[in-house]
């Protein structure tokens, strides 16, 4: 039997990437936060049926000990991205023109013993 009494149940050794999270509060504030201990993984799937080939892109972002660091609709960029402080800069920041940029469609905080241990986001 595996005992995790005094240990953390997850190994965060792969959380060694830098990501930039862009957030808009829905009114006037645009924020940029850089996380240097994150894990961002991209996945592309392809399905072929009688109507042709369909591709789907998805991603998983893990940020250890993030206190609500990502929200649905936030834009996530692999690496350290430029500032984004205006409505025009936010509108120009789109995945089709910015390689490595994704938009969070779900956010799922994970808890261990009553405290948040990491935040997962994906889309």
Identify the pLDDT of residue 4. 46
Q: Which residues contact 13 (CB under 8 A, 6 or more apart)?
A: none
Higher-confidence residue of 8 and 122: namely 122
Res 101 pLDDT > 80: yes
**Beta strands 106-112; 101-103: pairing state:** unpaired
Residue with tokens 């039997």: 1
Reduced to 3 states, what is the DSSP secondary structure of residue 88?
Answer: helix
Question: pLDDT tens digit string along 24-75?
Answer: 988 888 999 999 999 999 987 777 777 777 777 789 999 998 666 799 999 9
DSSP 11-66: --TT--EEEEEEEE-SSS-EEEEEEEEEEEEEEEEEEEETTEEEEEEEEEEEEET-
Average model confidence (pLDDT) for the chain?
85
């Amino acid at each position: 039997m595996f005992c995790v009494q005094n240990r953390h149940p997850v190994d965060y050794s792969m959380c060694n990437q830098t990501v930039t999270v862009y957030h808009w509060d829905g009114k006037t504030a645009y924020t940029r936060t850089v996380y240097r201990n994150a894990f961002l993984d991209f996945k592309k799937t392809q399905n072929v049926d009688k109507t042709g080939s369909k591709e789907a892109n998805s991603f998983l972002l893990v940020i250890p000990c993030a206190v609500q660091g990502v929200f649905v609709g936030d834009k996530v960029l692999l690496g350290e991205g430029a500032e984004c402080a205006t409505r025009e800069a936010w509108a120009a920041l789109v995945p089709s023109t910015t390689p490595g940029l994704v938009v969070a469609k779900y956010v799922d905080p994970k808890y261990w013993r009553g405290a948040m241990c990491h935040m997962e986001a994906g889309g």
